[in-house]
Amino acid sequence: MKFKNFLIAAVCISAVNFFANAVEAEESMKSDFRPVNALGLGEYNLEFNPIGFDSRTAEIEGKSISFRAYENIVYVKNPKNAQYQSLNIYIPQNYLDGKSINGYTSKTAPIFMPTGVGGYMPSLAQTPDDRMGGSTILKALERGYVVVSPAIRGRTTVADSDSKLYVGKAPAFVVDFKAAVRFLRANRDRLPAGDVEKIVSNGTSAGGALSALLGATGNAPDYEKYLREIGAAQERDDIFASSDYCPITNLDHADAAYEWIFHDVLEAHQSNRQAPPPDMKNPPPDDSKKDRPMNAPVENQSATPLTDIEKKVSDILRAEFPIYVNSLGLKDPSTGELLLLDANGEGSFKNFVKSKYIESAQDALNSGESLKDLDWIVLNGKKVVDVDLDKYAVYATRMKAPPAFDKLDLSSGENDEFATESNEPRHFTRTSKIHETKSGEIADADQIRLMNPMNFIGREDVQVAKHFRIRHGAIDRDTSLAIPSILALKLMNSGIDVDFYSPWNRGHAGDYDLPELFDWIDSICK
Ligand code: DHB
């Protein structure tokens, strides 16, 4: 099956047989992959070749876009898996004809770097005719951006040389994104267009976490040994700006943040069914929701009650959250007030999180939406004066059973992301290790640390991106709104420009407001 067809199919197939298809697609792609810069013996030439391109034209919303395509360039000298460490570059034709677009020239055009990573799975380099991601590339080209899409290793990636070796576990995804940035910088004088000092990353969910991590860890020496191991270019890897949709980040505190909001909701929608074998005579009816991003955990229409042990762990996690928040010393960016929580989870930090829902609801009201039937919103005439987070949790419903990410039976995608090279899933929190129902190791402390942007923001030896745009939909409950809030606050408190917003009625999704995203890019680049 071709990957493009696979993408179309992936949205339609039931979650039950998803993983089998994913593996099949990866297998078939391997044989199709023709890198343009192989030197032999698993080595690749990092000198970009400006001659090796295709000229193409594509249609988007009735307009035709002409661009130059450079594809299948391996971005490290010694890849673990060449196809998953390759990138594609697309350049608007106008720049090659000496023209300008949207006020940019070939020298000043921002470089937009989207990642297709989802669910901590690997992603191929995206192309303009991909069903998912393709239109984002074309619209970015139309705006005058050079687009660079890197393939990125993920939790199921195996080595080219030895298929039993899992080479994409944490922190490989961010190591690869950094290596792709370094490749561009090393080739700044060979690239026909694009300003390597105006790189803007973009991703959704696990890809949003990746984009945030890339933005927060510029030039951090901590990743150097991983970058050397794959022969990344000796260059800087800081970026200009980071766009992060619903980032599934700060995984080591996300379980506690989840229970802070959803503790009293005693049933969960996440599917815990194992995929039935493909030849099973009467598989259970497919109850999964179809509007989820590719590779996100499966959500059922129906809910399952929490077990006693899940309820007990929820109590523990909820009590952990105020301790974590108070340890951060976050401040309200407008008043300078410390953002804290008492042992019951009440306090100024909660007011900050509420303010994001209030802002979103007010915008919905202003645009003519009726909120009067929503019992979690407190209205005074045409003003949203408060939100009740307990009622919100009931309204939004609980997606994940506790612990939301570090599962007691090691069954989550995140447990797999932190797995060993031989693919044994691992924990990444002490609480889940202590209460585990299936025995497993805890991941190396360093591996956990290198996955969390919170550990890098504010460090003197790290160049954090100057600009962040963070979005988390008002009904997204793949992670708690507290998680992107903490990220945004930490960034703002260290002087970074952050545009942080919770769009009304928006669930777990990304790229839904590209005109606004591109306006933001233009506002910071011009
Ligand atoms: C994604 C969603 C999740 O809920 C999660 O735990 C990990 C990844 C995703 O959509 O990428």
Please write the tens of the pLDDT for every residue from 119-135.
Answer: 999 999 999 999 889 99
What pLDDT sits at residue 282? 80
Q: Is residue 18 part of a domain?
A: no
CATH number of the domain where residue 379 is located: 3.40.50.1820
Residue that finishes a domain, picked among 452, 483, 509:
452
Atom of ligand 1 nearest to the CA of 508: 10
Q: Is residue 500 part of a domain?
A: yes
The answer to whether residues 91 and 211 belong to one domain is: yes
Which residues constitute the domain of residue 238? 33-249+454-525
Q: Are 274 and 283 in contact (CB under 8 A)?
A: no
From atom 7 of ligand 1, which residue's Cα is the shortest distance away? 119
The answer to whether residues 439 and 303 belong to one domain is: yes
Q: Are 49 and 36 in contact (CB under 8 A)?
A: yes
Question: What is the Å distance from ligand 1's center to 405 Cα?
Answer: 9
Task: Fill in the DSSP letter of residue 34.
Answer: -
Residue 233's identity, in one-letter code, is A
What pLDDT sits at residue 151? 98
Q: Are 434 and 459 in contact (CB under 8 A)?
A: no
What pLDDT sits at residue 276? 66
The answer to whether residues 186 and 258 belong to one domain is: no
Count how many domains the chain has: 2
Q: Are 451 and 415 in contact (CB under 8 A)?
A: no
Tens of pLDDT along the chain (526 residues)?
A: 334 443 333 333 333 333 333 443 444 454 589 999 999 999 999 999 999 999 999 999 999 999 999 999 999 999 999 999 999 999 999 999 999 999 999 999 999 999 999 999 999 999 999 988 999 999 999 999 999 999 999 999 999 988 899 999 999 999 999 999 999 999 999 999 999 999 999 999 999 999 999 999 999 999 999 999 999 999 999 999 999 999 999 999 999 999 999 999 999 999 875 566 778 888 777 888 888 888 999 899 999 999 999 999 999 999 999 999 999 999 999 999 999 999 999 999 999 999 999 999 999 999 999 999 999 999 999 999 999 999 999 999 999 999 999 999 999 999 999 999 999 999 999 999 999 999 999 999 999 999 999 999 999 999 999 999 999 999 999 999 999 999 999 999 999 999 999 999 999 999 999 999 999 999 999 9
The answer to whether residues 276 and 391 belong to one domain is: yes
Q: Is residue 272 part of a domain?
A: yes
Residue that finishes a domain, picked among 432, 452, 472:
452
Question: What is the Å distance from ligand 1's center to 406 Cα?
Answer: 13
Atom of ligand 1 nearest to the CA of 118: 11
Question: What is the Å distance from ligand 1's center to 296 Cα?
Answer: 4
The answer to whether residues 371 and 345 belong to one domain is: yes
The Cα–Cα gap between 351 and 388 comes to 11
For residue 171, is the peptide bond before it cis, meaning its omega torsion is within 30 degrees of 0? yes
The answer to whether residues 283 and 175 belong to one domain is: no
The Cα–Cα gap between 31 and 357 comes to 48
Q: Is residue 371 part of a domain?
A: yes
Q: Is residue 448 part of a domain?
A: yes
Pocket of ligand 1 (CB under 6 A): 118-120, 205-206, 248, 293, 295-297, 405, 413, 478
Q: Is residue 399 part of a domain?
A: yes
Instruction: Please report, for residues 196, 261, 326, 451, 472, the alpha-carbon distance to residue 330 in angstroms, rounded to integers and kept in the order given.
Output: 32, 19, 8, 20, 19
The answer to whether residues 179 and 300 belong to one domain is: no
Nearest to 120 by CA among 459, 484, 414, 523: 414
Mutate to test the pocket of ligand 1, among 205, 246, 299 (most ligand atoms within 8 A of CB): 205
Residue that finishes a domain, picked among 420, 452, 484:
452
Atom of ligand 1 nearest to the CA of 405: 6
Q: Is residue 317 part of a domain?
A: yes
What pLDDT sits at residue 275? 60
The answer to whether residues 109 and 234 belong to one domain is: yes
What pLDDT sits at residue 217? 99
What predicted TM-score, i.e. pTM, was given to this entire model?
0.94
The answer to whether residues 516 and 483 belong to one domain is: yes
Residue located via tokens 């506690």: 256
The answer to whether residues 412 and 458 belong to one domain is: no
Helix axes 3-12, 18-32, angle to 10 degrees: 170
41 Cβ neighbours under 8 A, 6+ residues apart: none
The answer to whether residues 418 and 438 belong to one domain is: yes
Q: Is residue 514 part of a domain?
A: yes
The answer to whether residues 264 and 397 belong to one domain is: yes
Question: What torsion, rounded to 10 degrees, do the Cα atoms 42, 47, 49, 53 define?
Answer: 60
Enclosing H/E stretch for 31: helix 18-32
